[in-house]
Structure 1
Amino acid sequence: MAGSSGAGLETYNQKRDFTQTAEPPGRKAGKTGRSFVIQKHAATRLHYDLRLEMDGVLKSWAVTRGPSLVAGEKRLAVHVEDHPLDYADFEGTIPKGNYGAGAVIVWDRGDWSRVDGDYAKGKLEIELKGEKLSGRWHLVRMRPKRGETRENWLLIKSEDAAARPPDAPDILSERPESIQTGRTVEDVAKGADAPSKPAKPPAAPRRKPRAKADAPVAKAAPSAMPDFVEPALATLKPSPPTGPEWLHEVKFDGYRLQARLEGTEVRLLTRSGLDWTDRFGPDIPDALRALPAQQALIDGELVVESGAGASDFSALQADLSAGRNDRFVFYVFDLLYLDGQDLRDVPLIERKGILEDLVGPEPGRVRFSAHFGETGSMVLRHACRLSLEGIISKEADAPYRSGRGKSWIKSKCSARQEFVVAGFLPSTTSDKLVGSLALGVYEDGKLDYVGRVGTGFSAAVAEDLRSRLEEMRIDKSPFVRKLTADEARGVQFVHPELVAEVEFRAWTADGLLRHASFRGLREDKPAAEVVRESGPAGAAPKAQKRRVALTHPDRIYWSDEGITKEGLADYYAQVWTRIAPFIVGRPLALLRCPSGITGQRFFQKHAWRGISKHIAQVKDPKAKDEEAMVAVNNLDGLMALVQSATLEIHPWGSTVADWDRPDTITMDLDPGEGVAWGAIIAAAEEVRQRLQDAGLAAFVKTSGGKGLHVVAPLRPKADWPTVKAFTKGLAEAMAADSPDDYVATITKSKRKGRILIDYLRNQRGMTAVAAYSTRARPGAAVSMPVAWEELDQIGPAYFTVTNTPARLDDLAHDPWEDFRTAARPLEGKARRSKA
């Protein structure tokens, strides 16, 4: 991100620890000059730093692919913080763990002068007089995209006597050495001393420039740009392949698109060749147009990401329906053609390297899809733990081949595929909505019935589906077999033309879907191509069977996410064995929302008239005249809470068997405005250490809101006043030790930029949201137990009703598996950690 001359050196100094790095401290010089330097920097990613002396500092740009002497060739230059003038002589290694760690050499330097334009206005034509580079150059600031934090420029060589033709040697390869010491960046990385005599630079060839591409890539075929290329498709396998010849990428959950860049014209084509450029707004085409290429064919996937970075097809569908395009991101993972070269026969790993250079490292609207070289099973396990859809494994040396083949293998974290919509049931709550869809797959040209999906569509989507399906109604069932009376009851059959993407937990033994959830319509795939991808497996999902009847199961509780009463019941059935230890046999406070999260809501801790027989009623021994409180003892009780519109479950920290001796401590870390996620993690780690210092084990979970809960299991020995005094002392000690970071008082005016260490959950009658409980907030987040090492990979509301079951299915180890066995009695006291 660009820094102004006033604040740039402050930013420079803040990013560096000068006790560890030999880089010079940032001091603004009084003199004014016109020196320039280009430093070759082998950091996480090799790049070249262009620095121009202006106003006593070095204005700096990271040129991702380095400067090019080919006239008209565009190179991305990311504006970074100002550097001090002394930095022009810096050559050496920035130690690991420091900002910009890696080897640096002084690749070129000299003087520059302004030919035309104005730096402040983002258009600057300069002339360089260096030892390697000379002639005129353009620096042009690009129009920022919405939400983009970096400042992107383009570095473009002018047409002049210093320009080289495209087939001339690349100056970067021709002259890799430092003009200060003669060392290469590899020499510096190895710690080699400077040679006694710097290498003499060879004479640069001077030929008549031609407006063409770079020198050909090995194995690339010079050719005209092909027409639409049918995409390569992955074959579904139950597990990823093994071996060093495979690389593994994240499987995205969006629309597969081929981007065609021809000069200033950009088109986005679906996997069947439909032109969908106009559907996605101007930002993605603009970002592609800004790439340093004249012609390109790029394979990728357009997605909408959740707050924690996971792609979300439902959110993509919702944004398209709403005409919203500010969240679209285009992840690119293959390059088929570039500036006169057909790359399809080039090995994948080389194609990806060229693509990475083309796109650059910064996260904009177009992003490079990185790959992993670890074992496929490890990558898949990690992806599933983070509730991603799965991975794609690809042969590193394979060419690009259209159609479904064996060089691309997909492995999924949860069962998900497309199904044909062949009927619908009207909603029981509105005559404008669908309640559920009847689904099928084709086998030998005939449509097989596979069951229904009744959750996952928002009210807007349900209304749109009802409108579309009403016009497609037919009198006769399109399924090959006659449906049973239960299957056919209430179904309005339609022409089997629409394709729905559905996530589900398993196939039943008779080939029907279990716990299905709608993700969106796939308008890029014809219904006739939809077949059963896997199953029936014959094994039911790991979930308890529901026995409590639900009235109005299609009532929508989370409108934007399309989660219905039935969807919530399915979720709790799947996580029952996990949530049970934290809610069974405890007094509960419930947040009930009869009309969903957008309607009336109220907390309830006492029994109500007409309460289900499956919900237990318990009496507080210290409140003999008070109404009975509520508790649950089994899955039926939890399902009865769902039926009564309970969207949050808040248990006591003690059980009804021992009301006055808590068995759980919960420290709620509630961030004020402006607190970064990393600061919340640091606070949780400090609470963990203080609990451990007191002899207690510490576990962590997301709150489903903005913060974290650090939870300690107790042997029920101490009473409530003792536990409250301990937790209060812990919170106040943290606030006293770090008053700029933490507060222990609830007053909101004191919390801006700080984290409230809320200990008030830990007193008699108070509650905290249960592990695995849903939250009555947009996004349908849940309070999720996680491993400590997961915290920097997620966000506070990362886990939801939608993605939690897949995570739990694929967890190799439950991070809270030893929660109760780790319980210890409270014997220590919280103490200050600083003098």
Structure 2
Amino acid sequence: MASERVPVTVSDPEGEREVVLSSPNRVVWPEVGITKSELADYVQRVADPFLASNGDRPVSLERFRDGVGSEGFFSKNPPKGTPDYVDAVTVTYNSGRRHPQIVLNRPSAIVWAVQMNTIVFHPWASLASDPDNPVELRIDLDPQPGTDFADAVAAAHGLREVLSEAGLEAFAKTSGNRGLHVFAPIEPTHEFLDVRHAVIAAGRELERRMPDRVTMSWWKEERGERIFIDFNQANRDRTMAGAYSPRALPGATVSTPVHWDELDGLDPTRFTVRSVPQRLDEIGDPWADKQQKPGRIDTLLAWWERDVEDGLGELSFPPEFPKMPGEPPRVQPSKKVAAHWDADGEPAAKD
């Protein structure tokens, strides 16, 4: 039996457009009863601030055919049959491979993504017009076991001060889960590796100031009960949930931009697919002016060079990346035998 299909009229800048939604009554979030149709309504209501933060960028779609609780998968390339109102841009991945990636530039494209069973939207830090040079510095503050959202808030306030001293204005949003994301708009004058180094420099400075509360340790066994400053989210093709993106979690939480004076005592679970549109109606978008005054990462890069001269070099890359120059050995510290690795972090030659 064919599934129900209903036309949804979407208001685009070019005029109204119909997007067909199949199985509109399919429950996407079983715990709270939110359907595919309700999700399509949500993305239309938040389309303007959503596109301001996530539009005109390469984006990966995290799709769940049977809703939250089912197995998800990522779509980066436009699938066969993608309509002409969904744009694309050719990007270079870490492997050197080049391929078109989806770009969302209008409300109908977001509704199409919902039709394709997308729940989470993962935008790049760069624009489609210049995908190799990020327009924002991103830092994920990730609570570890024994810490919570309040600990991430304390770290975020400290990070804001560090970035301010480096000449950057910081903006915060909930992750939609337990952590916080701190963004700083930057001029697109440096490629991803430089921006990664700027993030590492900022993280190291925060770690010096809050050594008992934050950590830059890539290996979980070394983090302890501290907030992990996830510097690897600054890499090319590494993404986090975008502003106003739902999360594939039982309560239908949303990664939500917030004002700094909201953070203390905030309960991030109250930002959901059902509550966020009303919040926007009442207070507007806290990130509305985010891209108006981008800064530069020169000071952070100077800190990076200072740290390199002091013996602090490259940090670990994610396992799917090629081995990078100066990277430490990709082996858990507790399992590392020094004699088995050379100075470049490569396995030592056997006699």
Fold in common (TM above 0.5): yes
In structure 2, what is the equivalent of residue 708 of structure 1? 180
Which of the residues 595, 602, 605 maps onto 2:66? 595
Q: Equivalents in 2 of 1:657, 1:564: separation in Å?
A: 35
1:315-358 C-alpha deviation (Å, 9 max, x unpaired)? xxxxxxxxxxxxxxxxxxxxxxxxxxxxxxxxxxxxxxxxxxxx
Q: Deviations over 1:411-446 (max 9, x none)?
A: xxxxxxxxxxxxxxxx958xxxxx9xxxxxxxxxxx
Conserved 8 A contact 1:648-1:774: yes
**1:733 matched to which residue of 2?**
205
Instruction: Give the number of the structure whose alpha-carbon radius of gyration is greater.
Output: 1
Aligned equivalents of 1:595, 1:705: Cα separation in 2: 21
Number of residue equivalences: 295
Match of 2:235 in 1: 763
Q: Per-residue CA shift, 1:600-632, capped at 9, x if unaligned? A: 211221222333443223212578864421111
- Cα distance in 2 for partners of 1:633, 1:677 equals 33
What does 1:99-138 align with in structure 2 at a 5 Å threshold?
none
- Give 2:40's match in structure 1, choosing from 569, 582, 585: 569
Q: Deviations over 1:500-559 (max 9, x none)?
A: xxxxxxxxxxxxxxxxxxxxxxxxxxxxxxxxxxxxxxxx9xxx9662110111111111
Alpha-carbon distance change, 759 to 776 in structure 1, aligned in 2, over 3 angstroms: same
Mark the runs of 5 or more structure 1 residues left unpaired by the alignment. 1-426, 430-434, 436-453, 455-485, 487-539
Corresponding residue for residue 132 of structure 2: 660
Correspondences of 1:399-478 after superposition (within 5 Å): none
5+ long unaligned stretches in structure 2: 305-351
Q: CA contact under 8 A between 1:701 and 1:710: conserved in structure 2?
A: yes
Q: Deviations over 1:48-87 (max 9, x none)?
A: xxxxxxxxxxxxxxxxxxxxxxxxxxxxxxxxxxxxxxxx
Aligned pair partner of 1:807 in 279, 303, 308: 279
Q: State the 1:662 CA deviation.
A: 0.8
For residues 502-581 of structure 1, the aligned pairs below 5 Å read 547-581=18-52
Partner of 2:153: 681
2:293 corresponds to: 822
Indicate the SS of the match to 1:749.
helix
Contact 1:734 1:742 in 2 (8 A): yes
Q: Which AA in structure 2 matches 1:619?
A: T
What letter is aligned with 1:723? Answer: V
* Segment drifting more, 559-568 vs 729-738: 729-738
Encode CA deviations 1:457-488: one digit per residue, 9 max, x unaligned.
xxxxxxxxxxxxxxxxxxxxxxxxxxxxx9xx
CA apart distance, 1:744: 1.1
Aligned residues of 1:618 and 1:628 also touching (Cα < 8 A): yes
> Does the aligned pair in 1 maintain the 2:49–2:288 contact within 8 Å?
no
By how many angstroms is 1:807 displaced? 0.7
5 Å matches for 1:16-165? none
Structure 1 equivalent of residue 79 of structure 2: 608
Does the aligned pair in 2 maintain the 1:560–1:778 contact within 8 Å?
yes
| In structure 2, distance between residues paired with 1:549 and 1:608 | 16
**Map of 1:272-283 to 2, 5 A cutoff?**
none
Q: TM-score, normalised by structure 1?
A: 0.34
Q: Distance in 2 between matches of 1:715 and 1:731?
A: 20
Distance 2:70 2:240 in 1: 23
Write out per-residue CA displacement over residues 744-770 of structure 1, whole angstroms, 9 at most, x where no aligned residue. 123222334210011212122222211
In terms of fraction of residues, the more strand-rich structure is 1
% same residue? 34
For 1:632, the aligned partner's letter is L
Task: Give the aligned partner of residue 347 of structure 2.
Answer: none
Question: Map of 1:756-795 to 2, 5 A cutoff?
Answer: 756-795=228-267
Corresponding residue SS for 1:566: helix
User: Quick one: distance in 2 between partners of 1:545 and 1:648?
Assistant: 25
3-state DSSP class of the match of 1:735?
helix
* Post-superposition CA distance 1:771-790 (Å, at most 9, x none): 00111111101111111111
Give the letter for the 1:824 counterpart.
Answer: G
Aligned counterparts of 1:624 and 1:768: Cα–Cα separation in 2: 22
Q: Does 1:641 align with 2:88?
A: no
Tell me the distance in 2 between the aligned counterparts of 1:780 and 1:545.
Answer: 28
| Distance in 1 of aligned mates of 2:96 and 2:299 | 34
2:104 & 2:214 partners in 1: Cα distance? 36
| 1: CA distance, partners of 2:204 / 2:188 | 24
After the TM superposition, which segments of 4 or more aligned residues of structure 1 sit over 6 Å from their partners? none
Would you say the 8 A contact 1:616–1:632 is kept in 2?
Answer: yes
Letter of the 1:605 counterpart: K
Q: Report deviation, 1:817.
A: 2.1
Distance 1:743 1:609, change over 3 A: same
Q: Counterpart of 1:753?
A: 225
Question: Contact 1:703 / 1:797 at 8 angstroms: preserved in 2?
Answer: no
With structure 2 as the length reference, what TM-score do the two structures score?
Answer: 0.78
Distance of 1:806 and 1:705 partners within structure 2: 20
SS in 1 for 2:184: strand
Does the aligned pair in 1 maintain the 2:170–2:183 contact within 8 Å? yes
Residue 349 of structure 2 is matched in structure 1 by: none
CA contact (8 A) 1:718 1:825 kept: no
Instruction: Please list, as runs of the form range in 1=range in 2, the aligned pairs for 1:35-434 lying within 5 A after superposition.
Output: none
